[in-house]
Structure 1
């Protein structure tokens, strides 16, 4: 088969794949590519491999080491197991591993293959017997004190993708150096072990279903977080719910029972469907994803829409406003409302607790509203790098090492951690808390958007404008960011934009480790040379962060304008921000010159 392949390395990789892979479909796929002499494509998928990072793995499902498939999962599971034996052997020997999966193509299969690898070496595996929301995995890791947890999901990626997300023994997403250690062990254990493909292992007594116990304890903690007066909702606010063709619906129903809340399902999207037939992308943040929710809400007379992403770890919200039209709340606006609501509930539950021991967290590209709220209320606000891996681990240290209370954490990409039951974003608990808040506001004659306006009036209008440009050429991205670092000569950043309309007051560059707002220009947040990220603060209250995406060919921008003046309004501040963003992105990114494609 390989004798006619002109490239020796490729020929060896093809031979290796055909010997190691036991999936008939992907073996046939490689054979067909060889027969068709598609050697360049074969080099892409066989001579390179997908690298394991802090987000684990995520990519297209097809044959090859650079793609998601059975053989890559077996290799990854073997590497993960060896890493856990090296670093967390006590927890591994005693309590094993937790495994969950969403409703995507091959998710259950990938979870079972991982289970087989661990079972083949005599370890205990807790594999959920059906699809679960992603937050159930970190919850179960901490509940059972396992060495790690794996959730097979690609979240809101297109239907052809899948992913492999790993949680550490603390119930948080892994952070360095665990990712590098796992990658190293994957490369040291590429050849499938003798029993890694053994399906009979799925009948082992070491394979346990944790669903019933995990559900019971998860909803008990969630119930305890809801004040008694909010558990018998008699309000007539009607709520529509979409699972975005994912796993969320039965879990949302159980959550809403805690507060006596009913939801109207968006029938076209409420049941799992790995082909996501009604949306271009199964991401409730983008495109036409809320179209069916709005149709259902209009037909049923609903005034609030809740929508999870397919693995139910994120939450999108739309509210009917005074005009009768729908307003889709930004991730930051949802964060403002949930932060206020959860702190209000915390103060009612624990009236004697000193807020000096209370913390809220947000990613560095999220709104600074909570920072301003903390200054007035007396709790602490901490900013972390982008991603719940950083917020979760920071929260864990605060809770378990310092004895602090973490009430809330969020990132603007509609991810919310309500309380400390799950140290990761959780779209199920966030949906219950938001629905309970909306019901209580409704009983008091207030809409959600009116409450948001009251909060802005009290703490300042924090209006955000976030978007991105596509850039499929990595050298162009590098050139754009290097220009910013040498804007007015070598090693000098921009000092103003729009002919002095905005003057730069501070620059933080977490790629090179520079922050001129800190002593010795050293940033507090961790530096990551492998990604681009620069934040500018201006003298008019404008903040802008430019960064590259870790999973997509995008340059993202996050901007916020804070205005606490008496004549400030949502509309006025928003219009001012839009003008500033247009000027800022034109000057700093030069989209036309660099052929950047704007978001749709």
Structure 2
């Protein structure tokens, strides 16, 4: 305790004043550490969260977690001290914890809210704070706007807290790991020896999958398992470009093998099959839905995002499950779980949730369930993907991004005002402008543009019949933003 207080004093600046208003993006407050995110603004935001909690009726206990980024623990300690000042009861993690461990604890305890100091999959220069409601779901937009409003009223109240107390210190990881382990079929792991190569990407989930799966008898080899605030110099996003090391290691491993990865705070997944091939998020979510439904663990339905590929929907409906589509941002999918409309949810950017564990995305859970699926069938994951796509049709899905500029903003606005009738060789058969701009195409695929809520980017999503067609589709979508496609 004494060491933690000393560290907090050393890092917290008292002189800089919070002046700019705080804004929540798709997933909480986020920005460049030392510019958009700093201690004065953090103190303002936490005091606003305290005001918001007092307006509600869920009690006064707030859970606090943190990842391994620069100053994360110091920021968490600062938040706890502010909450004590505000008369609330913080419960602070004893160690770096994946975000899903905090949301799992919220889902199974009586709390008013949860705070996690993290910037998730963003580059190392970023930091921020996620805010969760009493049951572990990201707060909905009206609550985010209310906290922003309260923060605006608190802008001058950015000084260091007077309290030296932090509240209780708790380890949230073991109960989360036990809950996931209880879902796994230990007999199947014994019947089919599996090697798992786990790439923690220097993130908060290091020590999670590689703690859970060895207990089943699986052999687990780890990559990038040390905590590194610089994440080895790359963004801790488990996409194909960032998992070449994992793909190489899996490809060199003999026998039944799968590669798993998690992002900076452990809520997103990445999966590599036994041939060293990165699987798209749509393929992974389809495999997970098929696996859980086949085990009789899904009954109510599935919630997916507007940019998730059609394979998930086809698999779910084949199991007699209802499917609902929602705006991009996992908070919308968490809401569907929270209201009982869905047992599970998945999205295009590596998020998957299963209601009994928690309503928010969980990369640790997704990875462990993929391993469970492999041993359940005893077949290599690549064969299972081929079987699924042979039955329901191929689905090549992907995403790209372009830095937001004045020119790309104008091009996007023109697209929204006047969507094209054709996109490449396909006719546009449907236009949806609810959550960005989505064009449904005559070949069964789609293309979608959307402004990022966390970074200065315009994101592009697409589905096509094969990988080459997907690359062409994404490239064409980017050219539309660069103003070059319409003249062709």
Fold match by TM threshold 0.5: yes
Please report how far the alpha carbon of residue 300 of structure 1 lies from its aligned counterpart in structure 2 after TM superposition.
5.7
| SS of alignment partner, residue 138 of structure 2 | coil
1:387 aligns with 2:387: no
**Which residue of the partner structure matches residue 402 of structure 2?**
469
**Which residue of the partner structure matches residue 161 of structure 2?**
197
Deviations 1:533-581 (A, max 9, x none): 111112221211111211223222211136xxxxxxxxxx334444455
Q: 2:127 aligns with which of 162, 177, 185?
A: 162
Q: 2:181 aligns with which of 207, 223, 232?
A: 223
Paired residues in the alignment total 478
Question: After the TM superposition, which residues 187-586 of structure 1 pair with which residues of structure 2 at under 5 Å, given as runs?
Answer: 187-192=152-157, 196-198=160-162, 200-202=164-166, 207-211=167-171, 214-227=172-185, 229-230=187-188, 232-266=189-223, 269-277=224-232, 279-285=233-239, 287=241, 289-294=242-247, 296-297=249-250, 301=254, 303-321=257-275, 326-346=276-296, 357-398=299-340, 406-441=342-377, 443=378, 446-471=379-404, 473=405, 475-487=406-418, 493-498=419-424, 501-510=425-434, 533-561=436-464, 573-583=466-476, 585-586=478-479
Classify 1:313/1:580 alpha carbon distance in 2 versus 1 (closer, same or farther; 3 Å): closer
Structure 1 residue ranges without an equivalent (≥5)? 1-20, 31-44, 348-354, 399-403, 488-492, 512-532, 563-572, 595-600
Classify 1:105/1:507 alpha carbon distance in 2 versus 1 (closer, same or farther; 3 Å): same
Classify 1:419/1:458 alpha carbon distance in 2 versus 1 (closer, same or farther; 3 Å): farther
Whether the 8 Å CA contact 2:428–2:439 is kept in 1: the answer is yes
Distance 2:246 2:278 in 1: 11
Higher relative contact order (CA 8 A, sep 6+): 2
Distance 1:110 1:140 in 2: 20
Deviations 1:288-330 (A, max 9, x none): x324434544666573221111211111111232xxxx21111
Deviations 1:470-504 (A, max 9, x none): 33x2x3233213322443xxxxx322234xx3222
Q: 1:186 aligns with which of 151, 163, 166?
A: 151
Classify 1:110/1:435 alpha carbon distance in 2 versus 1 (closer, same or farther; 3 Å): same
Whether the 8 Å CA contact 1:54–1:173 is kept in 2: the answer is no
| SS of alignment partner, residue 209 of structure 1 | strand
| SS of alignment partner, residue 396 of structure 2 | strand
Distance 1:369 1:117 in 2: 47
**Which residue of the partner structure matches residue 598 of structure 1?**
none
| SS of alignment partner, residue 105 of structure 1 | coil
Classify 1:201/1:344 alpha carbon distance in 2 versus 1 (closer, same or farther; 3 Å): same
Q: List, as ranges, runs of 4+ consecutive aligned residues in structure 1 with deviation greater than 6 Å.
A: 21-25
Distance 1:371 1:270 in 2: 35
Structure 2 residue ranges without an equivalent (≥5)? 1-7
Distance 1:503 1:291 in 2: 36
Please report how far the alpha carbon of residue 216 of structure 1 lies from its aligned counterpart in structure 2 after TM superposition.
4.7
| SS of alignment partner, residue 454 of structure 2 | coil
Deviations 1:97-144 (A, max 9, x none): 000001111111111111111112332111111111101111122222
Distance 2:251 2:462 in 1: 33
Whether the 8 Å CA contact 1:50–1:57 is kept in 2: the answer is yes
TM-align CA RMSD:
2.7
Whether the 8 Å CA contact 1:244–1:270 is kept in 2: the answer is yes
Distance 2:24 2:459 in 1: 23
Distance 2:474 2:485 in 1: 17
Classify 1:320/1:535 alpha carbon distance in 2 versus 1 (closer, same or farther; 3 Å): same
| SS of alignment partner, residue 200 of structure 1 | coil
Please report how far the alpha carbon of residue 181 of structure 1 lies from its aligned counterpart in structure 2 after TM superposition.
0.6
Question: After the TM superposition, which residues 13-92 of structure 1 pair with which residues of structure 2 at under 5 Å, given as runs?
Answer: 26=13, 48-53=20-25, 55-62=27-34, 67-86=36-55, 88=56, 90-92=57-59
Please report how far the alpha carbon of residue 432 of structure 1 lies from its aligned counterpart in structure 2 after TM superposition.
1.0
Please report how far the alpha carbon of residue 282 of structure 1 lies from its aligned counterpart in structure 2 after TM superposition.
2.2
